Structure 1
Amino acid sequence: MKVVKQPVDMIAYFNVEGVIMPLKFRLETEDKYLKTIKVLTILYHKEEKIAGNLIRTYACTIAQDTLEKPCEIKYELNSCKWFLFKI
Structure 2
Amino acid sequence: MKIYATPISVLAWFELNGRPQPIRMKLDDKEVKIEQVISMEEEKIAGNWMLLFKCQSEINRELKRFELKYELNTCKWLLWKM
Q: If the length of structure 1 is used for normalisation, what is the TM-score?
A: 0.87
> Deviation digits for residues 49-74 of structure 1, max 9, x if unmatched?
10000100000102211211000000
| Structure 1 unaligned residues grouped into runs of 5+ | none
2:63 counterpart of 1:68:
yes
2:40 counterpart of 1:40:
no
**TM-fit CA distance, 1:18:** 3.5
CA–CA separation in structure 2 for the residues paired with 1:47 and 1:24: 21
Report the equivalent of 1:26: 26
Query: CA RMSD for the aligned pairs?
Result: 1.2
2:50 counterpart of 1:80:
no
Q: Give the aligned residue type for 1:13.
A: W
Q: 1:79 to 1:41 in 2, by over 3 A?
A: same
Report the equivalent of 1:9: 9
Residue identity over aligned pairs, in percent, reads: 37
Q: 1:16 to 1:68 in 2, by over 3 A?
A: farther
Matched positions, count: 82
Q: If the length of structure 2 is used for normalisation, what is the TM-score?
A: 0.91
CA–CA separation in structure 1 for the residues paired with 2:70 and 2:17: 17
| Structure 2 unaligned residues grouped into runs of 5+ | none
Q: Give the aligned residue type for 1:44.
A: S
